[in-house]
């Protein structure tokens, strides 16, 4: 076999015959001179609603939410890292996770309710103080 000079695509090679040649095309190409790029996306290689992008002699998958890998076959399990604290249970979601919190905790960061309550009290005290100042300055004027 000789390197192709009449065939397209560098990795193809040609077989010299008497007064003729035959191109051996690399994967992803066809035609008498390897001039046709095959559509690798025709076989629908991308799984889990991934989008296939045809490339010269190859393809690439753009994976949908929650999936990864060459063919989008691997589910991204965000619960593996144990993101829920204080005894919360991680619930798998297509595009992430949700924590089921035990009593006394809330939110995705598992903030204790007592912490939320104290923040609420501080904000209420600030608002009350601002209203008192506004009333006093109204009376004074």
**Is the whole-model pTM more than 0.85?**
no
The domain locations on the chain are 2-38, 39-76, 78-141
- On the question of a common fold for 39-76 and 78-141, the answer reads yes
Q: Residue 91: which H helix or E strand, with range?
A: strand 89-93
For each successive 10 residues of the chain (141 residues), what is the average pLDDT?
61 75 84 87 95 93 92 90 88 84 74 48 58 56 57
- DSSP character at residue 41: G
Question: Which pLDDT score is estimated for 11?
Answer: 66
CATH of 78-141, one of 1.10.1740.10, 2.10.25.10, 2.60.40.420, 1.10.287.3510: 2.10.25.10
Q: What is the CATH number of domain 2-38?
A: 2.10.25.10
Distance separating alpha carbons of residues 22 and 14, to the nearest angstrom: 5
Q: Phi first, then psi: what are they for 103, rounded to 5°? A: -55, 140
- CATH architecture under which domain 39-76 falls: Ribbon (2.10)
Question: Which pLDDT score is estimated for 85?
Answer: 87
Q: Please report the DSSP string for 35-104 in residue order.
A: -EEP-GGGG----TTPEEEEETTEEEEEPPTTEESTTS-EE--TTTT----TTPEEEEETTEEEEEPPTT
């Amino acid at each position: 076999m000789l390197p192709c000079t009449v065939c397209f695509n560098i990795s193809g090679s040609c077989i010299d015959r008497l007064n003729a040649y035959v191109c051996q095309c690399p994967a992803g190409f066809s035609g008498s001179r390897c001039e046709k790029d095959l559509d690798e996306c025709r076989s629908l290689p991308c799984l889990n609603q991934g989008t296939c992008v045809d490339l010269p002699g190859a393809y690439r998958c753009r994976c949908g939410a929650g999936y990864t890998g060459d063919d989008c076959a691997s589910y991204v399990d965000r619960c593996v890292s144990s993101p829920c604290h204080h005894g919360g249970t991680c619930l798998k979601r297509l595009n992430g996770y949700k924590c089921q919190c035990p009593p006394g905790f809330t939110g995705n960061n598992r903030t204790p309710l007592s912490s939320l309550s104290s923040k609420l009290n501080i904000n209420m005290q600030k608002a009350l103080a601002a209203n008192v100042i506004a009333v006093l300055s109204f009376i004074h004027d």
